[in-house]
């Protein structure tokens, strides 16, 4: 392994520090273990591996990268990926850091965040500054650069609701460009970055538009119930953030303790005719109305098929949240994928609804 160290002055301090943890140097390596870089904790390797801690290093990498190094995979927090084998090409891990308020107007504040920033740390930063809009997205694992790709969402809020612009670099030309929220073509866990721009650009930073006078979104009953249990009085963005954290910690495993990638499946969206047919046969079916369609709870469907808590070797379904598949220690990506296929088949057989994976299968 070759380490290219880059020294950086610490703001406000009269000394130079070499950070060997994660951020301020570029790593170049062959046959590099990705076990600690994917939240499933799968023991896989990449043929070549690079880690970039600043935008200049991304550009340096692109200048030297060639197709002889195999296909290119951009990796962030590794929280939404399932490796089924060693990666035959090059992995570029983005570890860029930086967050700042860049402007404001009468109603909004605009915050620029580097792609390598940990998402929940940014939510905390914005909430502590009193900027509203992110609080319902608390404790979602992963890095900021993945937020627009997945159009991450939870408890009535999606990234598209707060995103203003995305700054990118073209992989082939190295050209920088800015993509507006309207140009991102956001859908349910979908965006232009998963379609037309997949494999063509690298997200370097994201600009969010947040409320100077926060308007709380308490549309999900679970948040209201948790706020009542917390007995905090009149809620604000800080208490909403804490309520979301409490809810997620009760039902979701900590990837540092039990390998997982969060929600493995998308909640299926079906037309009214299909929903009424299911509602007639299953009166207690869990759903949310969404733009003249019905979004079913994938967790409910999976639970009704008896999968919650099931374990096959070291691959299993979480015992509190059936939407989450877990690695109890030595499961392979293939074993987890096979388990997901069995779940998909059983849900389709019973309900006539085909689940789609939210996790990227590599």
The answer to whether 358 is a known catalytic residue is yes
**Quick count: other Cβ atoms within 10 Å of Cβ 14?**
6
The answer to whether 263 is a known catalytic residue is yes
Q: Which of these is catalytic: 54, 165, 226, 358?
A: 358
Q: Which of these is catalytic: 165, 263, 335, 340?
A: 263
Q: Which of these is catalytic: 93, 189, 209, 241?
A: 189
The answer to whether 281 is a known catalytic residue is no
By annotation, the residues acting in catalysis are 189, 263, 358
């Amino acid at each position: 392994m070759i380490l290219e160290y880059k020294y950086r002055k610490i703001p406000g301090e009269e000394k130079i520090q070499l950070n060997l943890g994660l951020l301020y140097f570029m790593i170049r390596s062959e046959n590099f273990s990705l076990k600690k870089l994917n939240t499933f904790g799968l023991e896989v390797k990449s043929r070549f591996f690079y880690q970039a801690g600043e935008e200049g290093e991304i550009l340096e990498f692109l200048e030297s990268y060639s197709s002889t190094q195999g296909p290119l995979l951009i990796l962030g927090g590794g929280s939404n990926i399932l490796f089924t084998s060693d990666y035959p090409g090059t992995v570029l891990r983005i570890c860029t850091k930086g967050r700042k308020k860049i402007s404001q107007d009468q109603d909004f504040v605009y915050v620029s965040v580097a792609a390598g920033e940990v998402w929940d740390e940014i939510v905390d930063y914005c909430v502590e500054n009193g900027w509203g809009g992110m609080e319902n997205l608390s404790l979602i694992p992963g890095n900021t650069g993945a937020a627009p790709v997945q159009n991450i969402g939870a408890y009535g809020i999606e990234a598209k609701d707060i995103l203003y612009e995305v700054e990118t670099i073209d992989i082939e030309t190295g050209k920088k460009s800015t993509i507006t929220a309207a140009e991102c073509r956001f859908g349910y866990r979908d965006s232009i970055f998963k379609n037309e721009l997949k494999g063509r650009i690298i997200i370097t930073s994201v600009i969010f538009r947040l409320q100077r006078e926060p308007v709380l979104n308490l549309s999900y009953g679970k948040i209201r119930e948790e706020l009542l249990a917390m007995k905090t009085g009149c809620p604000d963005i800080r208490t909403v953030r804490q309520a979301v954290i409490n809810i997620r910690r009760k039902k979701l495993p900590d990837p540092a303790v039990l390998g997982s990638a969060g929600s493995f499946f998308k909640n299926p969206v079906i037309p009214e005719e299909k929903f009424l047919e299911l509602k007639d046969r299953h009166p207690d079916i869990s759903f949310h109305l969404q733009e003249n369609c019905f979004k079913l709870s994938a967790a409910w469907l999976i639970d009704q098929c008896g999968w919650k808590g099931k374990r096959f070797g070291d691959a299993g379904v979480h015992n509190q949240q059936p939407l989450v598949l877990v690695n109890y220690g030595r499961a392979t990506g293939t074993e987890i994928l096979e388990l997901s296929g069995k779940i998909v088949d059983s849900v389709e057989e019973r309900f006539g609804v085909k689940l789609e994976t939210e996790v990227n299968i590599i």
